Amino acid sequence: MIDVTDLEFKGSGKPLNGELKMPGDKSISHRAVIFGAIAHGVTTVEGFLRGNDCISTLQCMRALGVQIDESGDHLTINGQGFDGLSEPNRVLDVGNSGTTIRLLSGLLSALPFYSVLAGDVSIHRRPMGRVIRPLMEMGADLWGRSGDSYAPISIKGRKLHPIDYHLPVASAQVKSALILAGLQTEGKTTLTEPGASRDHTERMLRAFGGTIRTEGLVHELVGPQYLTGTDIRVPGDFSSAAFFIAAALLTPDSHLVLRSVGMNPTRTGMIVVLEKMGAKVSLVNKKEWNGEPVCDIVIDHAQLRAAEIGGALIPQLIDEIPILALIATEAEGTTVIRDASELKVKETNRIRTTVDELKRIGADIEETEDGMIIHGHPGRRFSGGPADSSGDHRIGMMLAVASQKSDAPVVVRQAEAIAVSFPTFRDQLAQIQR
């Protein structure tokens, strides 16, 4: 695990070559633990991501009385259904994990006991009203700071009633919280999204024998439902793979293979954009694990051209926008990213931190109200030097990859944040730089 504040990253000065296995998918790892806990019987999880966020979910479920045995990235979960969960004797600490606090808000709202969800400073700044308010419409008794807008969240679980709810923004976390509440609620819950969001929860629910009907942007489930333990194999995280895709695209003559990466179509908008930019990225050895598409990704360095990124693609690549901005600095022309206001309420305001830190090391980039404009200069190197992740794991890794086209090393401040999603990132980057 990364346990220091500042880390120096230095470009290899030579092509990147090799094969890598990405860490387990963060979204799927969270859900595997939660669904394993509420199912009846034993669930095994292979490839669990041992990043800080997923560990937070694991520890919260243990605090709720679930027996979980660990051996490396393998988990054995002894689920006893919703009734097997019990009142925690302490505040449930979600750390830096927005997924944990939002999904557990839905789960706990329908359970007959009192609980409190809290986290770090960043979590207490992130909007929670978007999940608290629809749960209140279901009859939940929960509240937060500043008019039920922010954590900590206190929950007095009770019997809920189903709702027909239109989500104001496409949010997989809010949708998932309402699904977890709906699974415990008598009757039909209907959720309508304004645009497509990640569907890992729906796929995971079906893997555990649950039922949810989806037509376009409308999801219907009838509760209560009985789930059965199963064996889950977690694919590599595409959002982690994105940093190595970028490293190869930025480094002449590179050739990388990333093995068994999850290719959920709600997550891979970056591939669509890279194809428009002329990147050489191939998807091979396609298969399916527990309803999730998986493949190997082959990347070869190529000359890139600018692109316009916005609209319906944004939810499919929201976490990859910082690294796409870095890639765009090497593309011929001007890349425009718009419709990405959701970035402002991530671990940091990722529009601002991406622009400020790339500009600090020498990129030609400017901030807009809902995105950024990147002026590409192929072959022009950055100056390097100190840059600050602001405690955001994706900003930290983006800056580390930027060292591949920097004259001086990039010193990433608050680099310990990288362990949130990719504890072995530095080691794997060094492996292909040899």
Nearest to 410 by CA among 395, 421, 424, 423: 395
Q: Over the chain (434 residues), what is each successive 10-residue block's mean pLDDT?
A: 74 94 98 99 99 98 99 98 98 97 99 98 94 98 96 98 96 98 99 96 99 98 99 98 98 98 97 98 98 98 97 95 99 98 93 98 98 98 97 97 97 95 96 92
319 catalytic? Reply is yes
117: Cβ contacts below 8 Å, ≥ 6 apart:
91, 92, 94, 100, 101, 104, 105, 108, 151, 152, 153, 155
The domains located in the chain, with CATH, are: 7-24+236-433 (3.65.10.10), 26-233 (3.65.10.10)
Q: How many of the other CB atoms lie within 10 Å of CB of 154?
A: 16
Count other C-beta atoms under 10 Å from residue 426's C-beta.
18
**Structural tokens at position 420:** 């949130």
The answer to the question of whether 27 is labelled as a binding residue is yes
Check the annotation: does 383 bind a ligand: no
| 3-class state of residue 376 by DSSP | strand
Residue whose C-alpha is closest to residue 325's, from 279, 371, 369, 275: 371
How would you class 315 by CB atoms within 10 Å of its CB: exposed for 0-12, middle for 13-18, buried for 19 or more?
buried
Q: Do the annotations mark residue 98 as ligand-binding? A: yes
For 194, the 3-state DSSP assignment is coil
| Tokens, residue 68 | 């979980």
d(CA 86, CA 82): 9
Q: Cα 212 to the chain's mean position, in Å? A: 22
**Rounded to an integer, what distance in angstroms lies between the CA atom of residue 280 and that of residue 293?**
21
Element (H, E) at 241: helix 238-250
Contact 169, 130 (CB under 8 A): yes
CA dihedral 378, 379, 382, 388 (to 10 degrees): 50
User: Cβ neighbours of residue 114 under 8 Å, at least 6 residues apart?
Assistant: 87, 154, 155, 156, 157
Residue 164, annotated as binding a ligand: no
Q: Tell whether 210 is in a known binding site.
A: no
Confidence (pLDDT) at 80: 98
Beta strands 385-388 and 410-413: pairing type?
Answer: parallel
Whole-prediction pTM: 0.95
Q: Which two tokens stand for residue 226?
A: 């009985």
pLDDT at position 4: 53
305 annotated ligand-binding residue: no
Query: Is residue 80 a known part of a binding site?
Result: no
Contact 53, 99 (CB under 8 A): yes
| Residue 341: per-residue pLDDT | 95
DSSP string computed for 255-298 = EEEEEEEE--TTT-HHHHHHHHTT-EEEEEEEEEETTEEEEEEE
Which tokens hold the place of 417? 């944040």
Active-site residue, selected from the candidate residues 93, 319, 388, 392: 319
Residue 5 has a pLDDT of: 82
- Residue 287 in marked binding region: no
- pLDDT at 319 (0 to 100): 96
| Residue bearing tokens 């194999």 | 233
